[in-house]
Amino acid sequence: MTFELTKDYLDRIQTAIDIGDEQTLRAEMDELYPADISGILYELETDSARYLLSLLDRGVGAEILANLDESDRGKFIASFTSKDLAPFVDQMDSDDAVDLLNEQSIQVREEVIGLLEDREQARFILDLLHYDEDVAGGLMQKELVKINVNTNVNQCIEEIRQQAENVEKVYAVYVVDEAGKLLGFVSLKKIVLARKYAKIADIYEDDVVSVETYRPVTEVAEIMRKYDLDAVPVVNVQGRLLGRITIDDVVDVITEQAEDDLQAISGLSGEVEEDDTIWVRAKAQLPWLIAGAMGSLMAATVINGFQHELSKVAALAAFIPIIGSTGGNVGIQTASLIVQSLADTSGLTATLGQRLLRTLVLALLNGAVVGLIAGCYTLLIGEPRLFPVVGLSLLAVVMLASFMGTVTPLLLSKIGINPAVASGPFITTANDLIGIGVYFLIADFLLAEL
Amino acid sequence: MTFELTKDYLDRIQTAIDIGDEQTLRAEMDELYPADISGILYELETDSARYLLSLLDRGVGAEILANLDESDRGKFIASFTSKDLAPFVDQMDSDDAVDLLNEQSIQVREEVIGLLEDREQARFILDLLHYDEDVAGGLMQKELVKINVNTNVNQCIEEIRQQAENVEKVYAVYVVDEAGKLLGFVSLKKIVLARKYAKIADIYEDDVVSVETYRPVTEVAEIMRKYDLDAVPVVNVQGRLLGRITIDDVVDVITEQAEDDLQAISGLSGEVEEDDTIWVRAKAQLPWLIAGAMGSLMAATVINGFQHELSKVAALAAFIPIIGSTGGNVGIQTASLIVQSLADTSGLTATLGQRLLRTLVLALLNGAVVGLIAGCYTLLIGEPRLFPVVGLSLLAVVMLASFMGTVTPLLLSKIGINPAVASGPFITTANDLIGIGVYFLIADFLLAEL
């Protein structure tokens, strides 16, 4: 039932564009959902894409522009004048319009707002531009149906009718008092089933979850997920209803957050995708690879400083990999669990002390197991004098890495940085470096012949 | 506006439970949403939690049981008899009921189904038990409102009224023909605004996205996200309407997928959380740590095999960390991008050949940069003869790791394993091991004095 883009199909569309066959193109696009047309636009050259967009219904075009990835959209509308943009912005939901305008220069932004035909939309946009994009205010849309508590179901239906064009998905009608303060809501289902002259005051639900404009979007996402909400009203500190956030936007937030985490852990900077150009990918990969290389070269300096020890006990070199990788692995594991626990706001939060204590005990256990395994290996290769060196080093490395894996994401999250970065190559390399230092110091201390 | 669980509050609840103060407990719980009560249950001992649950309205209790994490639920209802469970299962949405029953033994499952009072629910459950939990059929619920295409709006509202108790969120009414085949839908908004005697045939939307029962849930999630759907109807291969999947379940799928990916990359097996017991955490961490240690000890064996070379050129040991970590870092970066691209089904999919070609060029670039940096370092420490050894090794390591990072997730995904595993410590260690082998072979080949 869903559309799948093929090379053949794309070739046909490209040919139709090349010969300017508007009729075929209109007919083909008519069969597709806007999200599918976006998929086609991604694959076309900018000129072809623009031509195709110009053939579409303005509302469909607006929806497509609203849903393009930020980076692709930037490239795509780079050639648009403010006059080209305004008609699309006129048709967008206010939250999408603001997202798009926030990506433009201040000049373009103001020009476009000035050119909007829908003055209510212009007002909505000016309201929303105040908010940062990572708080509830920046995610909300102004389009919603609200009704005074002193009306009845019939008036409510009339209100829905008037707003029907603006508010694509209604979910519920919000109930407010004379001052615009949010009192509750009536679900659409209830309106369908209610008597025409039933008073809103008698049927509305006053038990409503709302969020304030300043709440971080990740918190909003967690709230909507936790309470299974389709839409959540956004209020100011006085409780006045200002807008609402719908679940589709939150799904996007969750998906992006997951991608950000994955990229942070993997050591990729910026938003990069597999099919980006080689140059874009190199720009995303190289900073971390270089940082990692620098760290490893610092480790090299440490190792070089112990050349005397290495020349006496050549087998010491053999354990450099296990020291390095164990520190990295433990650090990532621990940091990931903390990142995950930071994202989950239900239940009690552990104090730093409780966390560290638990981490310590666990590190002793993990370190002892890995240390013993490596220790047995020293016996296997006939170097029993290295048993205490390797065993103790691994114990120390696991404990240090567990500590860093616990503390770093907590610190990062405190100062507003994505804590998932703590699981990335930077921390892994740091653990690597510290581990090797600890290893050679312990060797120096324990081996009489050095 | 949302509830936050504090130690104080929890203490008060615990005291009320200890003295059996039902009135206070009922009053307090009445103020909370089921999701908040779940948060409290997580923190209580099983006996206290069970007592608290027994005081709640049966419907609320069912919702709470439906929303508990699988592992917590297992522990919590371990002491429940089939007779204890049945009344809750009676009240659950069919999809949640099936999830819970799938976690029980076959005996308990059949007993509970036999004890259900709601025979429609029993039929729903038996229908749904056929499906694997990772396909659309396993995620769908049977509760929905459907209507024959030959009815009118008034009859439709009557149908909604009859189903109102069963179907918490309606979103849309599905339109079917005599044979039960899905024809389209009417949104609730349209029903509110339509004339009472308007024919469904005249007002329904025939342009409906549906999914077949066998579609993987990740694909369903991607479809709902892409098309901004609140609910998607599920059909069999003949197009007959069997159930629907709602957005809240998909949000859970997306969140769990993200957690799974994070855990796979971080080398954690099983579903583990930071506040699990030390034993559970050790069980999740140790398998990967041990696997990583084994890999590193194989690297140790390789290094030991080159003791002769190391004793001649001691500085060779210094570059073991950069060889190992660069391979790991590049492997993770590449695999992550492939994982991400596998999850994104819009646009054209690159062929394996295209992917490998791009990867090759990129690897040459990345490898050259990292190789040059490390090469310069050899000059800095006065070991210019190591420049070609380290430089070429890094180039080779980056190319190998890029290749493995591309191919492994694609292979894993083909055989139905979470491709994110490819970014985990297993692959990192494999890259580490291969890298060190390559490094010493190149050294052997290039250094005349060995």
Q: Tell me how far apart the alpha carbons of residues B125 and B128 are, in angstroms, rounded to a whole number.
A: 5
Q: Is A209 part of the contact surface with chain B (CB cutoff 8 Å)? A: yes
Query: Are B193 and A161 contacting, i.e. CB atoms less than 8 angstroms apart?
Result: yes
Q: Dump pLDDT digits (tens) for B240-256.
A: 999 999 998 899 888 88
ipTM: 0.82
A301 in contact with B at a CB cutoff of 8 Å?
A: yes
For residues B383-387, average pLDDT: 92
* Cα distance between residue B10 and residue B60, in whole Å: 20
Confidence of residue B141 (pLDDT cuts 50, 70, 90): very high
Q: How far is CA B200 from each of CA A398, B205, B268, B429, rounded to the nearest angstrom?
A: 67, 9, 53, 62
Determine the pLDDT at residue B354.
83
pLDDT at position B338 is 86
- Which of A220, A251, A308, A386 should be substituted to probe chain B, the one whose Cβ sees the most B Cβ atoms within 10 Å? A251
Query: How large is the average pLDDT for residues A92-121?
Result: 92
Which chain B residues contact residue A289 at CB under 8 A?
A: 326, 329-330, 333, 366, 369-370
- The band of B374, judged by pLDDT with boundaries at 50, 70 and 90, is very high
Token pair listed for A384: 């029993």
The architecture (CATH level 2) of B146-247 comes to: Roll (3.10)
The C-alpha of A282 sits at a distance from chain B's nearest C-alpha, in angstroms, of 7
Q: How far apart are CA B420 and CA B432, in angstroms?
A: 18
Q: Is the CB of B161 less than 8 angstroms away from the CB of A335?
A: no
pLDDT number for residue A301: 92
Residue A379 has pLDDT above 80, yes or no: yes
Measuring CA to CA, how many Å separate A291 from each of A437, B307, B326, B406, B446? 18, 30, 10, 23, 28
Touching B: A residues 55-84, CB under 8 Å: none
pLDDT band at A347 (very low <50, low <70, confident <90, very high): low
Average pLDDT over residues A19-43: 90
| Residues A262, B340: C-beta atoms closer than 8 Å | yes
Tokens representing B412 are 């894993």
Contact A341 B251 (CB under 8 A): no
Task: Tell me the chain B residues in contact with residue A292 when contact means C-beta distances shorter than 8 Å.
Answer: 325-326, 329
**Dihedral of alpha carbons B388, B392, B394, B397, sign:** negative
Cβ of A292 within 8 Å of Cβ of B157? The answer is: no
What confidence score (pLDDT) does residue A19 get? 93
pLDDT at residue A400, rounded to an integer: 93
Interchain CB distance below 8 Å, A328 and B325: yes
CB contact (8 A) between residue A230 and residue B225: no
CA dist B378 to B261, B374, B383, B391, B398, Å?
Answer: 38, 7, 5, 9, 19
pLDDT tens-digit readout, B79-119: 889 999 999 999 999 999 999 999 999 999 999 999 999 99
Q: Give a three-class secondary structure readout of chain A.
A: CCCCCCHHHHHHHHHHHHCCCHHHHHHHHHCCCHHHHHHHHHHCCHHHHHHHHHHCCHHHHHHHHHHCCHHHHHHHHHHCCHHHHHHHHHHCCHHHHHHHHHCCCHHHHHHHHHHCCCHHHHHHHHHHCCCCCCEHHHHCECCCCEEECCCEHHHHHHHHHHHCCCCCCCCEEEEECCCCEEEEEEEHHHHHHCCCCCEHHHHCECCCCCEECCCEHHHHHHHHHHCCCCEEEEECCCCEEEEEEEHHHHHHHHHHHHHHHHHHHHCCCCCCCCCCCHHHHHHHHHHHHHHHHHHHHHHHHHHHHCHHHHHHCHHHHHHHHHHHHHHHHHHHHHHHHHHHHHHCCCCCCCCHHHHHHHHHHHHHHHHHHHHHHHHHHHHHCCCCCHHHHHHHHHHHHHHHHHHHHHHHHHHHHHCCCCHHHHHCHHHHHHHHHHHHHHHHHHHHHHCCCC
Cα–Cα distance measured from residue B294 to residue A329, given in angstroms and rounded to the nearest whole number:
13
Question: Chain B neighbours among A 82-141 (CB < 8 Å)?
Answer: none
Query: Is residue A353 exposed (0-12), middle (13-18) or buried (19+ Cβ within 10 Å)?
Result: exposed
Query: In chain A, which residue's Cα lies nearest the Cα of B368?
Result: A286
Which member of A5, A211, A282 has the closest CB to residue B362? A282
Cα B317 from Cα B306, distance rounded (Å): 10
| Bridge partners, residue B161, by sequence | none
* Contact across the interface for B311 and A314, Cβ inside 8 Å: yes
Query: Which residues 220-279 of A are in CB contact (within 8 Å) with B?
Result: 223-228, 230, 235, 247-248, 250-252, 254-255, 257-259, 261-263, 265-268, 272-275, 278
Contact indicator for A225, B255 with CB cutoff of 8 Å: yes
Tell me the CATH number for domain A7-130. 1.25.60.10
Angstrom CA distances, A434 to A294, B218, B324, stand at 14, 40, 16
Q: For chain B, which residues make up each domain, given as ranges?
A: 7-130, 146-247, 267-446
Q: What is the pLDDT of residue A354?
A: 83
Tens-digit pLDDT profile for residues B44-59: 888 899 999 999 999 9
What is d(CA B346, CA B349) in angstroms, rounded to the nearest whole number?
8
CB contact under 8 A, B350 and A275: yes
Query: Which of A38, A319, A324 has the CB atom closest to B324's CB atom?
Result: A324
Q: Which residue of B has its CA nearest to A250?
A: B251
What are the two backbone dihedrals, phi and then psi, of residue B60, each rounded to the nearest 5 degrees? -65, -45
User: Closest partner residue to B292 among A39, A193, A325, by Cβ?
Assistant: A325
Name beta bridge partners: A233: A244
Contact B292 A335 (CB under 8 A): no
Rounded Cα–Cα distance for residues A373 and A296 (Å): 25
A1, pLDDT greater than 60: no
> What integer pLDDT is reported at residue A356 of this predicted model?
87
Q: Is B180 left (phi over 0), alpha (psi -120 to 50) or beta?
A: left
Whether B270 has a pLDDT exceeding 70, the answer reads no
The verdict on B209 touching A (C-beta cutoff 8 Å) is yes
Contact with chain A for residue B192, Cβ under 8 A: yes
Shortest distance, CA A19 to any CA of chain B (angstroms): 23
Q: Residue B314 above 90 pLDDT?
A: no
DSSP H helix total and E strand total for chain B:
22, 6
Least CA distance to B305: which residue of chain A? A318
- Ranked by mean pLDDT, which of A156-165, A428-437, B365-374 comes out on top? B365-374
| Alpha-carbon distance values, B202 to A157, A422, B177 (Å) | 21, 57, 14
Residues of A whose CB is below 8 A from B6? 348
CB contact under 8 A, B329 and A267: yes
Q: Do residues B357 and B232 touch, judged by C-beta distance below 8 A?
A: no
Q: CA of A170, closest CA in chain B: separation in Å?
A: 7
Q: Which fold has domain A146-255?
A: CBS-domain (3.10.580)
With CB atoms and an 8 Å threshold, state whether A370 touches B164.
no
Question: Is A267 in contact with B333 (Cβ distance < 8 A)?
Answer: yes
Decide if B370 touches A, using CB distance below 8 A: yes
Question: Is B432 within 8 Å of A321 when comparing Cβ atoms?
Answer: yes
- Whether residue B428 lies within 8 A of chain A, CB to CB, comes out as yes
Candidates 1.10.760.10, 1.20.1250.20, 1.10.3210.10, 1.10.357.20; correct CATH number of A271-446?
1.10.357.20
- What is the residue type of B89? V
Tell me, what's the pLDDT at A397? 94
Q: What is the mean pLDDT of residues B285-312?
A: 89
pLDDT, position A413: 84
Surface of B (144-163) touching A: CB under 8 A: 157, 160-161
Q: What is the pLDDT of residue A217?
A: 92
Partner-chain contact B169 A161, CB within 8 Å: no
What is the spatial distance between Cα B326 and Cα B338, in angstroms, rounded to a whole number? 18
Q: Where are the alpha helices (DSSP H) in B306-351?
A: 307-312, 320-343
Min distance B111 CA to chain A CA atoms (Å): 30
Read off the pLDDT of each residue in A341-366 and give the average, rounded to a whole number: 81
Residue numbers in A near B267 (CB within 8 A): 329, 332-333
DSSP assignments along B138-201, one per residue: HH-BS---EEETTSBHHHHHHHHHHHTTT-S--SEEEEE-TT-BEEEEEEHHHHHHS-TT-BHH
Classify B361 as helix, strand or coil.
Answer: helix
pLDDT single digits (tens) B330-365: 988 888 888 888 877 666 667 788 888 888 999 999
Q: What angle do CA A285, A288, A292 make, to 5 degrees?
A: 135
Closest to A402 (Cα-Cα) out of A348, A328, A307 = A328
pLDDT, mean over chain B:
89
Whether the CB of A322 is below 8 Å from some CB of chain B: the reply is yes
Whether A46 has a pLDDT exceeding 90, the answer reads no
Q: Which residues of B271-292 are buried (b: 16+ CB within 10 A; e: fewer)?
A: ebbbbbeeeebbebbbebbebb
Phi, psi for residue B234 in degrees, rounded to 5: -110, 130
CA gap A224, A231 in Å, rounded: 8
Q: Which residues of B touch A43 (CB under 8 A)?
A: 347-348
pLDDT in tens, B6-22: 889 999 999 999 999 99
Closest-CA distance, A121 to chain B, in angstroms, reads 22
> Quick one: closest CA in A to B380, which residue?
A301
* Residue in A248, A2, A37 with CA at minimum distance from that of residue B209: A2
Using CA coordinates, name the residue in chain A closest to B237.
A1
Interface contact B324-A321, CB threshold 8 A: yes
Q: Which CATH class is domain B267-446?
A: mainly alpha
Give the Cα separation of A116 and A90 in Å (integer). 6
Determine whether the interchain pair A160/B192 forms a contact, defined as Cβ–Cβ distance below 8 Å.
yes
Instruction: Please judge whether A325 and B295 are an interchain contact, meaning their C-beta atoms are less than 8 angstroms apart.
Output: yes
B357 and chain A in contact, CB less than 8 A: no
Contact criterion met (CB < 8 Å) for B265 and A262: yes
Write out chain B residues lying below 8 Å of A336, CB-based: 262-263, 265-266, 268
